[in-house]
Structure 1
Amino acid sequence: MRNLLIGFILLLTTFLQAQEPVKWSTSVEKISETEYNLIINAEIIEHWHLYAQNQPLGEEAAIIPTEFTFQNVGKDIELVGGIEEGEPVTEFDKIFEMELAYFANSATFKQRIRLINPETPSVIGLVQYQACDDERCIFRDADLGFSLDGNKVSFNKEVDGQSINLIENLELPIKNKDLLNYEQGDSSGQEKDLTSLFILGFLGGLIALLTPCVFPMIPLTVSFFTKQSGNKRKGISNAVLYGVFIIGIYMALSIPFHFLDSIAPEILNNISTNVWLNVIFFVIFIFFAFSFFGFYELTLPSSWGNKMDSASGSGGIVGIFFMALTLAIVSFSCTGPILGSLLAGSLSNDGGATQLTVGMTGFGVALALPFALFALFPNMLKSLPKSGGWMNTTKVILGFLELALAFKFLSNADMVEHWGILKREVFIGIWIVIFVAMALYVFGLIRFPHDGPKKKLSFYRAIFGIAIVCFIIYLVPGLQKSKESNLKMLSGFPPPVFYSIYPQESNCPLGLTCFKDFEEGLAYAQEHNKPILLDFTGWACVNCRKIEENVWSEPEIFSLLNENYVLISLYVDDRKNLSEDEQFNFKTENGRVKEIKTIGDKWATFQTINFRTASQPYYILMSPSFELLNPPQQYTDAVTYYEWLKSGLENYKEIK
């Protein structure tokens, strides 16, 4: 579960940063017709420190002191003296191990200015600062606006005399914008997706039950409740409460992600497509795979389990809760990788926080179900299979699956950065090797450290081994350049067909003609008088690949796309840098400036500004004159998608 912890720490750090430990506000005090005091207030949340401008004994080299700069100094305004600040606290800092001056709770700064240009309506400034608590530090800058005429401050194109190539907006003159608020009548696709995720989480919980970390605890725990609770009715209620607490604990793991989801619509997608986070997931999944193989044991600190076990002895509801928490901790080495897979998969989908909660709930329900079920029907305990070597076999097979999933994360990083080291055929070849090794293990031809004495191949093990061989045979055509290489059953896992070692006629899905720049696609649509299919997609978007390979590949849909629409595919997770002359800063509605450096930055912002969403896949049908042809479409089935394309084409003909 270390991958879950690392991902959680990264996300928690992002959350703390998004919480903004220091909030800035400004006001103006008029001294005379030409002189003003610019007043800057900082509100600092509890346990955080903002470092003062001047540090004792020149020790500011260890930290970043708070620093202010102002625009158009010497042109429109003149600074009168330096910035005055309140009295800071000076004491020994535990992090930097030296005397430092800082502010807690609040701070006030003043800068007197004299107007050189009496018509100056406002002053723009920038504060750069460092803030720390007892465990971490953040580095920030914030825009400051001071209105001298009572009107709203207008942030313009220069700070300290340097042009920042500010783009005021990326907004299109879209007509019929009300269609963006239209709710599709058929939401079954999204509900089906959540149901599928619950089922997958539930199956993951069932698999976790079959591991050596959990399975032996079932009869022991149920016996404890039925024998130690005084009477049967109380024993059943305690066992059910125990199961409820297990579900609640796993659901609670998803709560921080809902805060992240609400802070910024792009944040989960940015995290899921972060190159280094995907590489970290790759390394950690391999680390867990070899733990499942039995080369080493991975556990949380024993003190955690001991403390929870001790707390569980307090009795009553509190004791039952800590018993459930103890189970979560001691079963960590088996449940962790499964939960890590659930976390990583949910992050890469739209509505990641909701999907994670649904998946975690399914996992918790499966894990809790036996404890309540066997408490209700204790005689069923006799039908449980005995613990044995089969549990280790389950762990080893999970290890092979973890190994296969690890390469999905490396593939995400490879496609987002265009490294070209893990093309589709290479990826499928690696999977074939992994599953061949799994088949050899199931048939008893290779063994691992914790395997028991070699036994005769059982009927069920032989059937499972044959199923693996059939899957390997299914994968083999994926190594070829042919229609059979599509592997629809695995859509979204391998790289797309056009990301191939073989020369391709087009770098677009299914060999379609597409544009990956909006302006180029728009010019083509205007020249040929065709409607536009605007496709917001991503290299690491699983559902995008499913639509391309399972829906667009249908003959009727492919024909419509190929002959009647101009396809513009915008990859919101493309980390390739824009050329220097194409990079710019974008000013949001609240005046903040966002740096647009990569292709993905540009199209993700473009989508958010125009369509108020950050989900992928997301499809828009529009005319070359920016008139929406019908409501947007997201992940759906082929029949719905075909009707949507057809109605868009009919509406376009009416407009013409």
Structure 2
Amino acid sequence: MRKKLFTFLLFWTIGILTAFAQVENPATWSYSEKSLGNGEYELTLKAELKPGWTIYSMYTPEGGPMQTSLNFEAAGKGIELLGKATENEPHKEYDPIFEVDVWHFAGEFVITQKIKVTDPALTSVKGTLEYQVCQEGQCVMFDEEFTIPLKGAGNVVEKTAEVPSGDLQASDTQKDESLWMFFWLAFVAGLAAVVMPCVFPMIPMTVSFFMHGDSNKAKAKAKALFFSFSIIAIYTVLGLIISVVLGPDFINWLSTNWVPNVFFFIIFMIFAASFFGAFEIVLPSWLVNKSDKQADKGGYIGAFFMAFTLVLVSFSCTAPIVGTVLVEAARGSVLRPVIGMLGFSLAVALPFGFFAFFPSKLGNLPKSGGWLNSVKVVLGFIEVALGFKFLMVADQTYHWGLLDREVYIAIWVAVFTLQGLYLMGKLKFRNDSDLQYIGVTRLAFIIATFAFVIYLIPGMFGAPLKALAGYFPPQETIDFDINRIVRDNAKEIMKSGVALGNPAAVSRNQEACESPKYADFLHLPHGIDGYFDYEQALKCARAQNKPLFIAFTGHGCVNCREMEQSVWSDPRILDMLRNDYVVVALYVDDKKTLPENEWYISDYDGKKKKTLGKKNADFQIKYFNSNAQPNYILLDSHVEGKDLEKYMLMPARGYDLNRDAFYNFLKEGLEKFKQRNQ
């Protein structure tokens, strides 16, 4: 008895503290403007976040958490937006729940938007920010209205906020981690470039030139090192030029618009064709010859131009790899092209510097031969596979329906099957040598390739393929999902059996339990039957004499997806949700516009609610004093009046991956429902 009383008091105390914590906004915004002249302004909106909280980027990829949304009241009617809004560098990491890369900020989130005032009478800019902030265990949505007076440079409208320096340092650390990861990926790409037919044979030739061209060995080594650093400088300057020319506005456009994504897809296919030997990407011969003449001058100037000549001569092999790095770099921040080229060039220059210091090691290098062209061709297959990712982004964003999940996976299966056959010598391209036998290294690559193909095949029939989920379209786009078919058939059989046993009861339930609204675009996990409208669900629950399980959730709620995958999937919990409760999922971030006759002014904040998400969020705040997700309510279906909290069967439950605790939560709620309505 004491244990139960203690547990009740603990849950009650946590519930009260959580309710009070939820009304506080962990993101404190400040606003400033700077006059650029000619009626143009640069607006800065900065959020300072409390420790442990994160906020999501405006450009988080499709299918991820709720993006931050910035809207201006006078856009097109008094101000003109100059380009897209830019952000400070987000932390990017793959999220297995959403199966995409998630972009988020900790500590500080800064949005910059340039505008041009077209109405001379306009003295301020008004707008709204819609965003989601999350910490371990909960996510909360907010609307932020702002007004920024246009009084010239230095004017700041600010809300008080103090952010611990450690939180800002955490943000900087996340930024560094993101750039470091890209640096190492570019470094690996550089290593791949080293074994290209245009680069690899030049290593011993170039090192020998430096070692035998000067009797002073120390001076020769110094020139060789300068040659290596020159390679790094040339490629890094290329990245710097890309950053300066494009700028942050253009880079954001590259990340979000379908036009560059389709363009990049075409570019990747051209790169692949070049690797397959269809043609060579070459520079004008006069440019190469001119650089080569400068290299003959000797000294450090000659070493620099020899490096420049190497870059130009190897262009036909390295251009597709350099292009791939730059394409990926341009889809991030302005620093990424510089970081990418630094990592790439360091890997290319490394063998030249190494063998200049240890020329005796040159004999250990494998001899040039047909294997170099095989490396090119294998990279060509990889370019084809990766290129389809850009087309997938455009297809998913604009709902063209070209690349459903099974079609996309089928393309990858075909590509890597052909790669395996090529490695076996069953396919031969124009520049390939005859394959006399299969070596151990090649055999290892053959086994790995076909193992990968076998791993992919079940994905065409519904397997999640979680290791590669970020590269594939969402699971919902698959047409032939065996798991879904089996689940749906089982439901039909169960319904038929119930109908045969008690047709009158089934008829009554069908009248009360209508087809769920919004089921054409909203779905419950694990094949659970349920509703997406509270009134519909309540009516059905009363007819079946069952309690109501309300899940306040969101499309962009990471913790909600994790609860559904890790906790709801427990067989005991699934059985109770399917048989003992009527489930209703209320999405608080859905943008579905309600019919105009369903619009209303909220008693809570006095704002007009026009969308399904706004309606559900208002319902949660008004009746359950909470605005965090996930939030799970067990409600007696025989409610009367509007005081819903007194009909709650258990204290509300949020994010908690303890399956046993969640099962007990459902079980005790069901027992209390039966006691109340005995």
Place the TM-score, normalised by the shorter chain, in its bin: 0.5 to 0.7
Residues 129 and 143 in structure 2, CA contact (< 8 A), matched pair in contact too: no
Pick from 24, 39, 45 the counterpart of residue 38 of structure 2: 24
Deviation at 1:197, TM superposition (A): 2.5
AA in 2 matched with 1:490: L
Tell me by how many angstroms 1:387 deviates.
0.8
Cross-structure match for 1:346: 329
Q: CA deviation at 1:126?
A: 9.9
Structure 1 residues 374 and 390: CA distance shift in structure 2, 3 A: same
How far apart are the structure 1 equivalents of 2:556 and 2:240?
31
Q: Work out the CA distance in 2 between the residues paired with 1:195 and 1:295.
A: 35
* Residues 451 and 424 of structure 1, relative CA distance in 2, 3 Å threshold: same
Partner amino acid for 1:406?
G
Task: Say which of 252, 263, 276 aligns to 2:237.
Answer: 252
Does the CA-based 8 Å contact 1:496-1:509 persist in structure 2? no
Query: Hey, what's the Cα distance between the residues in 2 that align with 1:272 and 1:308?
Result: 36
Whether the 8 Å CA contact 2:39–2:116 is kept in 1: the answer is no
Deviations 1:322-381 (A, max 9, x none): 322222222122212222222333344xx5333443332221111010010001101011
C-alpha separation between the residues in 1 aligned to 2:256 and 2:352?
38
CA distance in 2, matches of 1:126, 1:372: 56
Q: Taking structure 1 as reference, are residues 125 and 467 closer, same or farther at Cα in structure 2, changes over 3 Å only? A: closer
2:257 matched residue in structure 1: 274
Return the alpha-carbon distance in structure 1 between the equivalents of residues 345 and 560 of structure 2. 33
Given the alignment of the two structures, is residue 213 of structure 1 paired with residue 233 of structure 2, yes or no? Answer: no
Aligned pair 1:323/2:301, yes or no? no
Tell me which of 491, 506, 509 is aligned to 2:469.
Answer: 491
The code of the aligned residue for 2:441 comes to Y
Out of 270, 277, 282, the residue aligned to residue 299 of structure 1 is: 282
CA contact (8 A) 2:183 2:340 kept: yes
CA deviation profile, 1:250-277 (whole Å, cap 9, x unmatched): 222332554588744xx53431232222
Partner of 1:535: 556
Letter in 1 for 2:363: K
Aligned to 1:555: 566
Residues 535, 570 of structure 1: 8 Å contact kept: no
Shift of 1:443: 0.5
The answer to whether residue 177 in structure 2 is matched with residue 196 in structure 1 is no
1:427-471 deviations in Å (ceiling 9; x for gaps)? 000111111111111111111111112312222212211111101
TM-score, with structure 1 as normaliser: 0.55
Q: Secondary structure at the match of 2:556?
A: strand
Indicate yes or no: 2:358 matched with 1:337: no
Alpha carbons of 1:387 and 1:523: their partners in 2 closer, same or farther (altered >3 Å)?
farther
The CA deviation at 1:183 is: 4.5
Number of the residue aligned with 1:376: 357
Q: Partner letter of residue 434 of structure 2?
A: P
Amino acid at match of 1:252: V
Q: Within 5 A, what are the aligned runs for 1:84-103?
A: none
Match of 1:100 in 2: none
Structure 2 CA distance for partners of 1:403 and 1:225, relative to 1, 3 Å: same
Q: Go from structure 1 to structure 2 and tell me whether the alpha carbon gap of 1:233 and 1:387 turns closer, same or farther (over 3 Å shift).
A: same
Matched residue of 2:390: which SS?
Answer: helix
Using the alignment, how far apart are the partners of 2:354 and 2:535 within structure 1?
64
* Long gaps (5+) in structure 2: 1-35, 41-76, 81-114, 131-141, 146-158, 489-518, 537-547, 578-582, 597-610, 614-619, 630-653, 658-678
Q: Tell me: CA distance 1:195–1:263, structure 2 relative to 1, closer, same or farther (3 Å).
A: closer
CA distance in 2: counterparts of 1:321 and 1:194, whole angstroms: 28
**Match of 1:336, SS?**
helix
> C-alpha separation between the residues in 2 aligned to 1:404 and 1:385?
29
Q: Are the equivalent residues in 2 in contact too, given 1:347–1:353 (CA < 8 A)?
A: yes
Which one-letter code corresponds to 1:304 in the other structure? L
Deviation at 1:289, TM superposition (A): 1.3
Letter in 1 for 2:212: K
Native 8 Å contact 2:534 2:584 kept in 1: no
TM-superposed CA distance for 1:179, in Å, is 9.5
Give the SS at the match of 2:471. Answer: coil
Q: Counterparts of 1:370 and 1:188 in 2: how far apart (Å)?
A: 31
Residue in structure 2 matched with residue 428 of structure 1 by the alignment: 409
Q: For the Cα contact (< 8 Å) 1:211–1:394, is it kept in 2?
A: yes
Determine helix, strand or coil for the equivalent of 2:470.
coil
| Cα drift, residue 168 of structure 1 | 4.6
Kept after mapping to 2: 8 A contact 1:126/1:143:
yes
Cα offset, 1:310, TM superposition: 2.7
C-alpha distance in 2 between matches for 1:259 and 1:646: 47
Question: CA distance change for structure 1 residues 185 and 479 in 2, over 3 Å: closer, same or farther?
Answer: same
> In structure 1, what is the Cα distance between the partners aligned to 2:79 and 2:389?
42
- Could you tell me which amino acid in structure 2 is paired with residue 213 of structure 1? C
Aligned AA (2:566): P
- Which amino acid in structure 2 is aligned with residue 228 of structure 1? G
Q: Does 1:234 align with 2:219?
A: yes
Matched, 1:453 2:434: yes
CA–CA distance in structure 1, aligned partners of residues 627 and 296 of structure 2: 64
Superposed CA deviations along residues 90-142 of structure 1, whole A, max 9, x for unmatched, are xxxxxxxxxxxxxxxxxxxxxxxxxxxxxxxxxx9999xxxxxxxxxxxxx96
Query: Does residue 391 of structure 2 align to residue 413 of structure 1?
Result: no
User: Counterpart of 2:270?
Assistant: 287
Alpha-carbon distance change, 629 to 532 in structure 1, aligned in 2, over 3 angstroms: same
Question: Residues 379 and 430 (structure 1 numbering): CA distance in 2 closer, same or farther, change over 3 Å?
Answer: same
**For the structure 1 residues 387 and 177, does the alpha-carbon distance in structure 2 shift closer, same or farther, using more than 3 Å as the test?**
farther
Instruction: Give the Å deviation of 1:247.
Output: 1.8
Contact 2:560 2:655 in 1 (8 A): no
**Any idea what SS the aligned residue of 2:38 has?**
strand
**Secondary structure at 1:224 match in 2:** helix
Q: CA deviation at 1:186?
A: 8.5
Q: Percent identity?
A: 35
- Aligned to 1:535, the other structure's residue is in SS state coil
Distance 1:191 1:528, change over 3 A: farther
Superposition TM-score, scaled by structure 2 size: 0.53
State the Cα RMSD in Å. Answer: 5.2
